[in-house]
Amino acid sequence: MSPAGGDQRRDRRGKNGSALGRFLTFLACAAGAAGLFLTGVAAGIWFSMPVPEAARASVPHAAAAVPAAAPTSPVAAARLSATPTLAAATPPPSTPPVPAVSAPRASQSPSPPPVATATRVPLDRRDDHRPLIAIVIDDMGVARRRSDRAAALPGPLTLAFLPYAENVARQSHAARRRGHEIWVHIPMQPMGFNSDPGPNVLDARLGAAEMRRRLMWNLTRFDGYVGFNNHMGSRLTANRDAMDQVMTAAGARGLMFLDSLTTNRSVAYASARAAGLPATTRDVFLDNTDLADEVMVRLAETEARARARGSAVAIGHPRDATLDVLEPWLATVEGRGFRLAPLSAVILKRQGRILKQVQARN
């Protein structure tokens, strides 16, 4: 093959390549022009479409920018005036509406927690020479039938309500109207792991702040009570630091205290007296077993202690066997020379006796 022939073929390929490039460039320009044309047509169609009423209302400045045309007839004017319009400040549809918050009414404002109003049952001091017996019924409020039965007994009795009982405020107020003295039966940390004192139990393992929060919860379930005693609590009442925390907070509310003595290692009474609370301890448990015979024996023991010491404090529970024995006993106790008294009266009498003993030593 001659060099001239090769050059001619290269010239033909170069011309063909140039023509192809020009053709592709032409196609690209035509496609671009068609795209611009279609975009313009679409924009024209879009802007020529009427804007929906809700969309116009969602843009506050749209109504101000384009003044509305005056109605052409009275009928049109009436129709326009009757058509509700949306406020210019209405948020766009994509924004979730924010609910309006109205100012709380007086009845909606949270009321302060109830504070104990020391509603002691008065005792006629003309009969102070008689031995006093205070019957305390613990665990009130949970077993409603038996609690109501206990509250219906003649008094004055001292009824200690569990703070977590259902409708405890209503129950305690009803019992107070019957002439009984009301106390708070606060659940405290027991020794046994199988014992369940109930919710919001005072537990030293939870720390001082949580202990105080739980104490305040227990003391604000109802009002009109005079003092408090421990529900269970064999572990907590043996902890002097924990009891000092409890007594300091309770003393600021002017409460009395009864140490139920669920353990012989209890320091609760000593802690209460050190904090300045009027306090005493339990003398007799009436119903360690749910047997009527034992309740009768324990009531006899209560009378003996009252004769020997001038007063006695017995704790029972709203159990049928206990109530069966208590009902006839309450009807005859004063005839045997005793005075049925609220717990606060026994505490004040014992406190006066202690004061006289201190004065005599000094």
**pLDDT of 97-119, one tens digit each?**
433 333 333 333 333 344 445 56
Looking at the DSSP bridge assignments, the partners of residue 202 are: 188
Quote the percentage of the chain above a pLDDT of 90: 60
**C-alpha dihedral sign at 251, 230, 323, 331:** negative
Residue ranges of domains in the chain: 125-361
Check residues 7 and 327 and name the one with the higher pLDDT: 327
Predicted pLDDT of residue 225 = 98
- The model's pLDDT over 14-42, given as tens digits with 9 standing for 90+, comes to 445 555 556 666 665 566 655 555 555 44
User: Would you call 330 exposed, middle or buried from its count of C-beta atoms within 10 A (0-12, 13-18, 19+)?
Assistant: middle
Highest mean pLDDT among 53-67, 71-85, 133-147 belongs to 133-147
* 91 vs 54: CA distance, rounded Å: 11
* 110 vs 129: CA distance, rounded Å: 48
Q: Which residues contact residue 88 at a Cβ distance below 8 angstroms, ignoring those fewer than 6 apart?
A: 57, 60, 63
* 140 vs 151: CA distance, rounded Å: 9
Architecture of the CATH domain 125-361: Alpha-Beta Barrel (3.20)
Q: Which residues contact residue 157 at a Cβ distance below 8 angstroms, ignoring those fewer than 6 apart?
A: 135, 136, 137, 150, 180, 181, 340, 342
Average pLDDT over residues 112-127: 54
87-96: Cβ within 8 A, 24+ apart: 88/57, 88/60, 88/63, 89/60, 90/57, 90/58, 91/58, 92/58, 92/59, 93/54, 93/58
* 149 vs 327: CA distance, rounded Å: 10
- The model's pLDDT over 182-199, given as tens digits with 9 standing for 90+, comes to 999 999 999 987 789 999
Predicted pLDDT of residue 40 = 54
**Token couple for 272:** 């209460």
Average pLDDT over residues 327-332: 98
**Token couple for 49:** 């479409």
Predicted pLDDT of residue 54 = 39
Predicted pLDDT of residue 70 = 38
Say whether pLDDT at 166 is over 50: yes
Contact between residue 292 and residue 262 where contact means Cβ atoms under 8 Å apart: no
Contact between residue 79 and residue 187 where contact means Cβ atoms under 8 Å apart: no
Of the listed ranges 111-120, 126-135, 214-223, 284-293, the least confidently predicted one is 111-120
